[in-house]
Amino acid sequence: MIPLVLHQTWKSAELPADLAAYQQSFRAQNPGLDLRFYDDAAMDGFVAERFPEHRALYDSFRFPVQKADFFRVLVVLAEGGIYADMDMECLAPLAPVLATDKALFGIEARVMPMRQRELGYEQPYQIANCIFAAPAGHPFLAGFVADMAARIAAAPVEDRSRIEDATGPRALTRYFYRVKPRDVAVLHQVIWVPPDLYADRAWLASRILCRHHFRGSWKSGEEPTFWRRLVERNRLPPPFPRSLHRDFGWGA
């Protein structure tokens, strides 16, 4: 079973009003929730105490978002529970999907064929790292930590454009397709990370547990070209999947 523990991070203890409201939504929807919040100093201390073998690598990260990406996997690996970005909003109780010994992820996007080839994904689904959950000590998370550490040690990230490939959802997605884990369940996109078009529809409310507001505070803010927007646009996912989880074809 995945414990009802929520881990969240922010650069300081002072939260903007919108993020504080999103955080409160998890408390409101999940009575008894154990919410554990970490600012930058608390994250640094946690890594130093619980993962000293990764401290040098963690301290070497050039961009703060790399630390946030790496930390979220470490803290769920160590403590179990749920990780959610501060711009995630909870719309319904999470207990029904946490009744599992598997690691639990969601689909962030269903990419177009050209983008799938560009990213090197085996299937057109990008796995989200904005929210996920697992029991403590889950082997998929341990393997992903080792994978990130080895790749970054060999090729440190010097450019912001490489962050998602090193520690973000692209890194997670490629690792997922490479190892084909049977101990990981992936919720359909509409359940955990629905597109805004779905999240704003009342008739879909019963399907949606969480919503990502995509604040993207770490991104550069540069506007993509028309061609990049065309390539990077996503396909709408099925609004009424017949099951909770996506079947990727390698069994349970």
The 10s digit of each residue's pLDDT in 149-187 is 999 999 889 888 899 999 999 999 999 999 999 999 999
Write down the pTM of the prediction: 0.93
What is 22-78 written as a DSSP string?
A: HHHHHHHHSTT-EEEEE-HHHHHHHHHHH-GGGHHHHHH-SSHHHHHHHHHHHHHHH
Question: What 3-state class would DSSP assign to 198?
Answer: helix
Three-point CA angle 208, 209, 210, nearest 5°: 100
Q: Cα(116)–Cα(112) distance, rounded to whole angstroms?
A: 6
In this structure, the dihedral spanned by the alpha carbons of residues 129, 132, 134 and 138, taken in order and rounded to 10 degrees, is -10
Q: What tens-digit pLDDT sequence spans the chain (252 residues)?
A: 999 999 999 999 999 999 999 999 999 999 999 999 999 999 999 999 999 999 999 999 999 999 999 999 999 999 999 999 999 999 999 999 999 999 999 999 999 999 999 999 999 999 999 999 999 999 999 999 999 999 999 988 988 889 999 999 999 999 999 999 999 999 999 999 999 888 888 888 888 999 999 876 445 556 777 656 765 778 888 899 999 999 999 865
- Tokens describing residue 169: 């959802």
Annotation: CATH topology of 5-235: Spore Coat Polysaccharide Biosynthesis Protein SpsA; Chain A (3.90.550)
